Structures are given as C-alpha cells and as structure tokens.
Structure 1
C-alpha cells in the first residue's frame, strides 16, 4: 500500500484509487496491444471502414483516411496516458488536479454515464449474436421467441441474461481477469477475420472489383468528406482518450504503454480496416452487392458450422470491446464517487446491472438516434481531455504532488474542492463544441466538435491558470466544509 506524508481522506481514497505499486505494474507492450485488438475488432469498426467505400472513396483514399484518423487518435491517447503510467493513477483521480476534488465528479459522472449506455447497446447486440448461435445448436430455440417476457422473446431474454453474466464473470476477478481475457480474445478475432479474408480472395479471384473501383470524390469534395470522416472516426473513441490512464497505470514502463498502444491502436485498426474492405469487395462478387454488416454476411452462409463459428467470433469481439472500453472506466468512476463503499469488482457489477436497467431491447430499433445522442455527449468530453492535457503539460509541467490527490486540504482543494477556472474553461469548450448547433450559419463546425472542444477548453484553461492569482487555497471559500 502507498504511504503518504499526510493522512489521506477516506472519502478520496481506497485501494482501487491508490497509486499502483511497482510490483503490480505488470502490463507489457503485448498486453496493451491485445487490449486494443479487442477494442478495435468490433462490428462498428468493421462497418465504418467498409462504409468509406460507400461514400465514394477509392480503396487508397479509405486507407489514407483511416491512417490519418488513427495517427491523430494515438497522439491524443499517448498524451493523456503518460500521467497514468508515471503515477499509477486512474482517470477519476487525475481529473482532480484540474477540476478539484468535488469538481472532478462532473466529468467523471458523464464519462460513466456514456460508458454504461454504450455497454448496454453493445451487450444487447452481442446477445443477438449469442441467440443466433444457440438457435443453430438447440432445436426449438427460435420457437421460444413466441413467448414474450418484459418486452422480448423468451429466447432473447435467456441470451441477454447469459451474455450479461459472461461480463460479470470476467469482471468478478478484477482488472487482472480483464488483462488475461484480452490477451487471447483480441488475437482470436483477427485470426477469424483472416479466415473471411481468405474466403473473399477465393471468391473474388484476387482483391476484387473494389480495389479497381475509381473514386467518386475529387478535389474539394473529397477533402470535405475526408474531414468529416476523420472527425467521426476519432469521435467514436473520444471517451477512451479520457480514461486511457485506467489502463496505463498498470504499465511496466512508459515505453511499454507507448509501444503497445502504437502497435495495438493504429496498427491493428489499419489492418482490421484493410481486412473489412477486402471482405466487402468479396461480397460484391459472391452476392452481387456490398454487404458491410458482418451479421448479415454470416447469414448468407448456409453452413451451420460457419454460422456458429462466425457468430461466436462476434460474441467474443463484443465481449472484448465491451469489457475493456465500457466496463473498466465506469467501474473506476463509481469507485471514485463512493470510495468508502465500492471497489473495482463491486462497481463493475453495478455498472452491468445499471446497463441492464437501461432496457436496450425496448429502444434498440432506434439505435441511430441513440448513437447520435451518445456521440454528442462523447464529443462534449473533448474539452475535458483538453483541460487535463493542458493541466499536466502546460500548468504542472508534468509534475504532480501525489499526496494532494487524496487530502481534502491539499493542493487540489481550490475553492472547497472546485476549481472555477476549470469550470469556466469547460463551459468555453462546450460552447465551441456545440456552436454549430446553436448558430445555423456555423452548422459545419459541429462536424469538428471534438477538435474545437479539445483546443478551446485546453487553451482557455492554460490561459486562466497562468494568469492572475493562484486559486489553490483561499480563506474566503464560497463553499465551506470538507468533502463528505
């Protein structure tokens, strides 16, 4: 256990929030690579890359777009991951440096909400794939759908409960269970994907017509679509930019986490995108149309063995991305809110239950609307990332006093636990992010909301913190009392 020069406040500290001790920093670059494999290799990533062709891009333009987006994304990830690896601290604790002990609960709460909502969506999608597997293996399984319980067929209810329990089993043994699961799940998905690539090359007798299809986007039109798609690709991972310290805190060294992420994120994302484009080109030959939905693609095969193996791959892929991207973060976020009562395992199980209470089966058919809402919320987290980066690199010069994170009267008290300058910067960043919605004449700016929020929020924070008096501690606090 970490020792402190000052008594730590039990409302700010427990073992899951404490700095990771050296003997527990066991994650090598291989672990980070496989974690990113597990997160990148999913249905949404597959469809996104394949759909670039549908927008009119050539294969080379699509690959170029994916490369640029992932280059920007890995830069943001690495910038926000250094503090976690250096001090062994998770995102909810690091957020206290900029926002204060109380103020940090604002970004932590919204980050947890978004993650649990995404968990609910992904888990239900995985449940459908699991139900397909069970339908191929169990006679009469599909007939159970005639009996409805809480708004869905009995077969789907069983599949949902089973899939939710799979998540609980993985989380029940803590972050180490997550690490071991991702170690084999990520590579397994890409191996199965390579099998589909082999099928595509076989039926297409080469790389298929998509690789010779000319671009329908030229000049300014291409660059306009390019900007929108790059922003969209980055925005889909904007929440991970925030909580990447939840993983890098376990890194053996900065080199391990940087190399692992550099290989695992852009490397596997580009490979996976290339694979999806090859497979899509094969569907043009085999079925006479581009099939970008992997679930539909598996449905075109009439072999029960292929359907079972394919849907099992989707189940593993969904489990992999859901555990790493949508359970680890809210688990730490909930622990941060209730450190006296929760640990990682309990918080993870609570997140799973809350995700079930969102009842995704009732609104999944309107997923397009839900995704739009979630993307808007995720884009709104851009200013938080900008503020945290500005605090670490520009204001603190990459130096934190660890004791201050866990003491109510420490250096991050500000005004009774709130940093007004961070809140003002957050407001400015959010205004920049959503100015395109507020002013119709600036509607195109909304397509770049993550970038605008990141830069405006970070720049505003750096300027406010370096100008005027230090707000760390004032006798005339506008809120009084210790953190409850």
Structure 2
C-alpha cells in the first residue's frame, strides 16, 4: 500500500513538473525553466507598436492624471509641465533598467541574481509578486466599471438593479456584476503567449486611441469650446505650506512612482523586443508622445464636459454614464457610449493581463521554476484577484491607491542597485550561465546572498519611509523635512542605494566583474550578437568540439598506423 502511494506521488510529481526541450537548450531545474532562460531569437517578436499596449499609456488612468495636479492647486500649464518632465524621466529609467534584458535577453527575476545573489534575489522578487497581485485586482475592479457601462448601454435597466449584496460589503451589485464580467472576459488572454501579442496590441491601441480622440472632438463640438477648466490658473490656497516648486516636485515624484512597479520589471518585456531600437522607440512614442497627448485629451474633454453638464467628471465611466443619462438617453447616445466603453474596457483587459497578470506569472516562475511557468503563474495571479478582494481595498480606503503608488519608496532603491551593478560595476558584462546554478557560480556569494545589497536597499528607503507613514495616515503635523524627503522619494531612494552599493562593492569587491561566458550556453544570441559580445555560439562550439574530436581520432589512427 505504501509503495503504491509513493509510486502515485512520483507519477503525479512527474506529471506536474515542467519539462524543457533539450534541443532548444531549455534547462528545467530549481533555478531555471523555458521562461527564465535567455529568450532565443525566434521568441523575440515585439516591435515598436507592442510597447503602446504594454506601457498602459493609452488608458483611463493616464487620462485622469492631470486631475491630481490641478486638485493640488497647480495651473494647467504647470500640470502639463509635470506630465512632460515626469514622462521623460520614466523613459530614462525604463531604458536604464531594461537594458540588461535587451542585451542578454533575461528578465527581472534572473537579472537581480547577479546583484543580490541567487537566494537573496527573492527579496525584490516577493515585493514584485505582492504588487502584481494587488495591481491586478485593482485594475480588474476599475475595468469592471467600464464593463458595467457597456451592459447599461445595452440594457438600461441594469443601472437601476436592486443591490443584492449584504450591507456589510462595500460595493453594489451593479459594480460586482461588472467586475465578474470583466474578470471572465479577461481569462482568454491568459492562453496567449507574450511573443504572440502583436495583433492584439495593434487592435487595442488603435481602438482606444480613436475612442479617446472621438470623445474629445465630441465634447469640444457640443460645448463649442474647451470650457473654463482649461484656463484654470494656479489656485494654491494661501494657507498651504507648499509653494508651486514643491508641488511640481511632488507631482514629478508621483508621476514616476505611478510607473515604478512596471519600471522594475522592464527587462521582463524588453527581452521580447527584436532589437533595442524597437524598445526605445516604442517606449518613447507611447510614454512621452502618446502619454502626454492622452493627458491633454483628458484635460480638454473634462473641461468641455464641465461646460456641458455643469460638473467635473475626470473618471471616464462616470462621464460615459452621464452622456447617456444612466441608460435613459436615446438609442443613439447609448450606442456611442457602448462602443467607447467597450474599446476602453478591451484595452484595460489586455493591459492588465500583460502588465500585471503575465508579469506576476514571470515572477512566480522564479519562485518555483520546476513547477511554474509564465502561463501557470499568470493563472495563479489571476485567481488571486479574488483573494485580494479589490472592492474592500478601493471602496473602504480613500488613500489606498496613493499609498500603493508610493510603494516606489521600496522599489526605487532596488532599481538603483540594478542600474549601478550592471552599468558601473560590471560594465554591462555578466556571466549568463552562472545565473542558473548554485555551484561554481560567481553569483552565489555567501550562501546565495550578496550581503552588500541588503544595507544598500535599507539605506535607500530609510529616509523616506516616515513620509510614507504620515501620508498614508493623513497626518499633517509631522516635521516639514519628513514631507520634503517623501516628495523626492524616488530620486532619493534610487541614488542613495546606488551610492551605498557602489561604495560597498569597491570596499569589498566580488568575483566576476567584467566577465562573461565564453560560449552561448543557451543558444540565445544570433550570430551577429555573439560576435558583438565576443562569445562563441553554441552551434560553433559544438561543431568545433566535434571537429577537434575527429582530428584527435585521425591523429590516433595515424600514430597506430606508424
């Protein structure tokens, strides 16, 4: 009986375990699997247009960005200045962090191993997994509101449905049904491999972009002008402790912080790019050009809508409901709202799956490579949305999203360590094969831990954690310096951790600086890439080995004949 149970368990384990294709050098063990090893050329299919969808700039969250800065008292011009400067800095940090993925085709999970050590790399990895769980849930709940608008446009009575949820639950039946519909319709995207996203990126980006442009044109035509919000000047209260300079600094920090979660795992998606030009060009066009234009469209549309309806509607689902009078409007208005909300919802679905759920799958694969690949990890992240219960987070904590964005306090030091190690210490050279084995590895350090990374990370967020605490609690009586440090949290964390990590590594140097593999063990590089890196492709290495063996055999036969 006991022997039979053991056989069944072994059989189950063998069924659940992942198996790589050895002919494609897909090593599967406790440190690697098909989705963690360097991405081979045939899987690097993303072009510049793909980064419109991945970057999530064509989204309702970008549309609402100016609201945060206008509410703080900045003028329209100052708000747009924050958006432009913030977008350029996001571009800069995204390229710096993602460059390792562009050059060596490895993702965030593996990239941290040469800085933290194979075991200590779980510290940044677990932070990313937690954020992926939360952001996936939050974005799914937000997308559910768009789904609810779509349903209302088809069946107007849906907007007035009785609330079937208990009073203890901080949500309405209307919101909950929209959330379920959005979650269910997002599921099919999980079945698509990231390298095959091309058509979906093109469709959703085009649909959403045209929808936003149409919405702005309609608002301007109906209002016969942009409205008074567009001409709003600086409105900082005289009782405010902060002048425009500090509010602009805070806005820029907030802009970068909103994208911090995506910046850290930039290499997860840059490695899918055909080459660096597609990534940099696509990120610039989507993040700087389109991102600024979407903010502009949101500002103009909201201003014109204020002139039409008398109230300010920054949230597109709310404005769409007003446009069709909560379903009681004409069939023409309901049809227009349906196609707009459907386009926004479809884009939100795909962006959430790609930027949060798939990213969560990649990170989970790093925890259990033997059993979890991207698809399995994505499914776990997708199911975890219900565990997180976003209706509790969003509807019961007004400052929750701001606090979540402020998690950059912990992420920016991680990025500082990543950038410093790769560019300044290792001079963009790493031993890729050493990232996947604990034995005889330059990145094993002390029991798998590079102790230098831990104090560097702690020093990065120590000066700004106080600001995060008082801000999340809504306190306004803390020392002024606490808030000032928090308003610069991203830059402070990034550069302090960079400097501390650099100094520690110079005082206590490690092995492997400036070294890289002599042979492309995983067959990830094209011939031109291998030549540029100065390494031998695995095909040439095998052929050279076989030629050497044949030469030795010939010499042996010659000696024997003599």
> Is this a same-fold pair by TM over 0.5?
yes
Q: Is the 8 A contact 2:118 2:448 kept in 1?
A: yes
> Contact between 2:48 and 2:281, CA under 8 Å: does it hold in 1?
yes
Alpha-carbon distance in 2 for matches of 1:413, 1:435 = 34
Cα distance in 2, alignment partners of residues 18 and 74 from structure 1: 26
Q: 1:292 to 1:253 in 2, by over 3 A?
A: same
Counterpart residue number, 2:376: 346
Note the C-alpha offset of 1:360.
1.7
Q: 1:171 aligns with which of 169, 190, 195?
A: 190
Question: CA shift at 1:155, angstroms?
Answer: 5.8
Structure 1 residue 44 and structure 2 residue 83: aligned?
Answer: no
Give the alignment partner of residue 129 of structure 2, picking from 112, 132, 139: 112
Structure 1 unmatched runs, 5+: 474-484
Deviation at 1:251, TM superposition (A): 1.0
* TM-score, with length taken from structure 1: 0.90
- The partner residue of 1:238 within 242, 255, 260 is 260
* Stretch deviating more after TM superposition (395-404 or 313-322): 313-322
Counterpart of 1:55 in structure 2 is 72
Alignment partner, residue 500 of structure 2: 460
Q: Cα deviation per residue 1:232-253 (whole Å; 9 max; x = unaligned)?
A: 1110001111111111101111
SS at match of 1:229: helix
CA deviation map 1:101-126 (0-9, x unaligned): 11111111111111210110110121
SS in 2 for 1:114: helix
Alignment of 1:93-172 (within 5 A): 93-138=110-155, 141=158, 145-148=162-165, 151=169, 156-172=175-191
Aligned to 2:455: 424
**Equivalent residue for 2:203?**
184
Alignment of 1:209-358 (within 5 A): 209-216=228-235, 221-302=243-324, 303-358=333-388
C-alpha distance 340-67 of structure 1, shift in aligned 2 (>3 A): same
1:24 matched residue in structure 2: 43
CA distance in 1, matches of 2:40, 2:460: 35
Q: CA deviation at 1:153?
A: 5.9
Q: Deviations over 1:281-322 (max 9, x none)?
A: 202321233322212211221232233223223312321331
Q: Which residue of 2 aligns with 1:195?
A: 214
Task: Give structure 2 stretches of 5+ with no counterpart.
Answer: 1-19, 325-332, 471-477, 514-562
Report matched runs for 1:61-72 at 5 Å: 61-72=78-89
Check the 8 A contact 2:44/2:195 in 1, yes or no. Answer: no
The alpha-carbon distance between structure 1 residues 217 and 131, as it changes in their structure 2 partners (threshold 3 A), is closer
Residue 80 (structure 1) aligned with residue 102 (structure 2): no
Native 8 Å contact 1:390 1:458 kept in 2:
yes
- Which residue does the alignment assign to 1:481? none
> What is the Cα deviation at residue 143 of structure 1?
6.4
Query: CA 1:286/1:153 → structure 2, altered by over 3 Å: closer, same or farther?
Result: closer
How many residues are treated as equivalent by the alignment? 470
Distance 1:407-1:48 versus aligned 2 partners, 3 A rule: same
Is contact 2:149–2:321 with CA below 8 Å preserved after alignment? Answer: no
1-side partners of 2:213 and 2:74: how far apart?
23
Moved more, 144-153 or 231-240: 144-153
Compute the displacement of 1:178 (Å). 4.0
Contact 1:46 1:273 in 2 (8 A): yes
- TM-aligned CA deviation for residue 460 of structure 1: 0.8
1:450 shift after superposition? 1.4
Q: Cα gap change, 1:434/1:155 in structure 2, threshold over 3 Å: closer, same or farther?
A: closer
- Assess if the C-alpha contact under 8 Å between 2:132 and 2:356 holds in 1: yes
Q: How far has the Cα of 1:148 moved from its partner?
A: 3.2
Give the secondary structure class of the aligned counterpart of 1:419: coil
Tell me the equivalent position of 2:224: 205
Q: In the aligned structure 2, how far is the partner of 1:146 from the partner of 1:288? A: 29
**Cα-to-partner distance string for 1:124-150 (whole Å, 9 max, x where unaligned):** 121122123223323754566443389
The two structures have a TM-score, normalised by structure 2, of 0.78
User: How well do the aligned residues superpose, as a CA RMSD in angstroms?
Assistant: 2.7
Structure 1 residues 16-58: Cα deviation after superposition (integer angstroms, max 9, x where no partner): 001111122111122223433xx01223222222343343333
- Structure 1: how far apart are the matches of 2:313 and 2:91? 29
* Matched residue SS, 1:327: helix
